[in-house]
Amino acid sequence: MVAAGGGKIVNIASDAGRVGSSGESVYSACKGGIIAFSKTLARETARSNVRVNVVCPGPTDTALLQSFTGGGEFGQKIYDGLKRAIPLKRLGQPEDIPGAVAFLSSDDANFITGQVISVSGGLTMHG
pLDDT the model gives residue 21: 83
The predicted-structure confidence for 33-91, as pLDDT tens digits, reads as follows: 999 999 999 999 999 999 999 999 999 998 888 777 777 788 788 888 889 999 999 99
Q: Which residue of the set 2, 6, 25, 27 is catalytic? A: 27
Confidence band, pLDDT 50/70/90 cuts, at residue 125? confident
Domain boundaries, the chain: 7-119
Tell me which fold the domain 7-119 belongs to: Rossmann fold (3.40.50)
Q: What is the DSSP string of 107-124?
A: GGGTT--S-EEEESTTTT
Alpha-carbon span 59 to 84, nearest angstrom: 12
Of all residues in the chain, the percent with pLDDT exceeding 70 is 98
Q: Does the active-site annotation cover 27? A: yes
